[in-house]
Chain A
Amino acid sequence: MSRNGKRTWGKTAIGLLLTGIMLFPVYWMLNVSFTPAQDMRKTPPDLFPADATLEGYRAVLDQQLPYLGTSLVIGLGTVALTVALAAPAGYALAKLRPRGGGILGFVLLAAQMIPGIIMAMGFYAIYLSLGLLQSVPGLIVADSTLAVPFAVLIFTAFMSGIPGELLQAARTDGAGPLRTFWSIVLPMSRNAVVTVSLFAFLWSWSDFIFASTLVNGGAHEPITLGIYHYIGNNNQEWNAIMATAVVASLPAAVILVLAQRYVAAGVTAGAVKD
């Protein structure tokens, strides 16, 4: 017994070490974000920000807030559009058994394999003729293509798990498909909505390729472009760049803390067969 216990602690130690190695770049980002500008070019670099400074974060507050705001708006817009499109589709595919639904599922799968650069170029050509370049709604639509196919598949998997008897009972009580969807299926799919929303937000928040092709140089640019311009313009202020990177990573951190539960719920809902 005690030998067994010792062995698991040994493994925990190895696990901690491996996690430490894996997360070292993240630590380094934090470390550099607190490093004063005059120590930035020191060799060897300080492993720990002994005289930590907040000047990097002050620069974020001074210069990056508009970018962060734009990213927030674009993220929320993408979430709304994605859920509005995908939830009804998931319901239909899971419960209404449409003819041709299998083909649609296949198309959704294939859609996710198209390289982003292709989509970006196509969107660029279309937006140029429509005058939608450098517009926030245009970027929201483009960003939603990152999430919609995934979202439909997640909703389908989730809603398949809702007992058919429940929907049958609703139908017997005279509820139409719309009513059933709105009052029963959607509330029961809360976890799927949360999962989809979190990922849709994260992906649009992190998008670089659509941003750099469709809204580059516009009045409203997201935070990914904020960082990109930063890298291009002032190679010296790496504490400000890394501080912006830390702030831009916050949604990922939130998802890791919050979504662990929801992502796990998504796995179990989808993993009927595993």
Chain B
Amino acid sequence: MTHTTQVPHRRPVPGHSGAAPTAPSGTRRRPSSQQWAAWAFLAPVTLYLVLFYAYPLYRNLDLSLRNYTVRSFVQGDAPFTGLANYRTVFDDPTFAPALLHTVVFTAVCLAFQYVIGLALAVFFNQHFRLSATLRALFLVPWLLPLIVSASTWSWMLNSESGIVNAALHAVGIGPVNWLTSPSWSLTSVIIANIWIGVPFNLVVLYSGLQSIPAGLYEAAALDGAGPWRRFWSITFPLLRPVSAITLLLGLVYTLKVFDIIWIMTKGGPADSSTTFATWSYQLGFGNLLPAFGPGAAVGNLLVIAALVFGLVYVRVQRKQESS
């Protein structure tokens, strides 16, 4: 569900910078009582961040550096084994496929979500009758609980009774074992995840389109530029900052997609749709005999990837704000 944290993310940041001008300029040297008050108001959330973000992260790191069994998990006396869990993970036959699937899943989802989202944003930007209502309806896949979307897609893609195979049959294509054949399972979860991610791209790119002055298009139209030309010479270049933000946030969120894949295929059959996120879960919770250490190690690799791209995102955004 965390993937849904998407749309609103962008909003607060302009507000952050927007706060500056509203404060009187004379407040450079504030009374320290105000500092006390400020941190009194911030104390709960700071404590919360330490207890419920930093500490779980620390426990996760600790898990990955020790040899945990169920028994030592309870007693807390697992021996320190350094990077052994990471070595186990790297040597695991699942590592290479999981890495490949994570990269393919992320890249393909991002590309399709962005292109479809941009096309829809440009389309809805033309303000026809009912456009606002229809645009709002496009949010539905983004608002639905992931378990709902995943189970609906599971049934639609069912080999014998699914509507997708029935439709394919109607145009003369034989049944596809979407979820049960190793060659199609990754495609299936990608399709479902694209469907879920399009609304986010649509909303953010649409808001980006609003800030392109209409006068530019009028001038270009007067100069005889057709719609296609106007898109490539005006819309696309001017949308680049928003596109960068959209793709980077999308990247961070797609990397950690778990629910959809787990509910639809559990990463299978035979690891054919396993990504780092589902592999980590599989190791920690998916077996009768949990392997918490390696599971946490896989998870930490994912954190590193997410944070690297997260930092790129923050840098890009700072750069855009200062320019």
> A residues near B, CB below 8 A?
8-9, 11-12, 14-16, 18-19, 22-23, 25-26, 28-29, 32, 40-45, 84-86, 88-89, 91-94, 96-99, 101, 104-126, 128-129, 141-142, 144-146, 148, 150, 152-154, 156-158, 160-161, 163-164, 176-178, 181, 195, 199, 202-203, 205-209, 212-213, 224, 227-228, 231, 238, 241-242, 245, 248-249, 252, 255-256, 260, 263, 266-267, 269-274
Contact = CB atoms under 8 A, between A and B. Distances in A.
A129 B75 CA distance: 8
B98 interface: no
A79 B210 CA distance: 32
Residue of A108, A241, A245, A256 with most partner-chain B CB within 10 A: A245
Residue of A44, A114, A164, A203 with most partner-chain B CB within 10 A: A114
Contact of A121 (B15, B52, B60, B162): B60
Interface residues of B, number: 111
Interface in B70-89: 73-74, 76
Contact of B37 (A89, A96, A248): A96
Contacts of A152: 45
A115 B296 CA distance: 12
B156 A156 contact: no
A176 B11 CA distance: 30
Contact of B44 (A15, A89, A224, A271): A89
A117 B281 contact: yes
Given A28-B163, A164-B23, A248 B5 contact: no
Nearest to A168: B24
B112 interface: no
A246 to B, nearest CB: 8
A119 B211 CA distance: 37
Residue of B17, B24, B306, B321 with most partner-chain A CB within 10 A: B306
Contacts of B170: 44
Nearest to A210: B1
Interface of B: 1-2, 4-5, 8-19, 22-24, 27, 30, 34-35, 37-42, 44-46, 48-49, 52-53, 55-60, 62-63, 73-74, 76, 120, 123-124, 126, 128-131, 134, 136-141, 143-149, 151-156, 160-163, 166, 169-170, 195, 198, 207, 210-211, 252, 255-256, 258-259, 263, 277, 280-281, 284-285, 292, 295-296, 299-300, 302-303, 306-307, 309-310, 314, 321
A116 B300 contact: no
Given A110-B310, A206-B147, A209-B1, A89 B56 contact: no
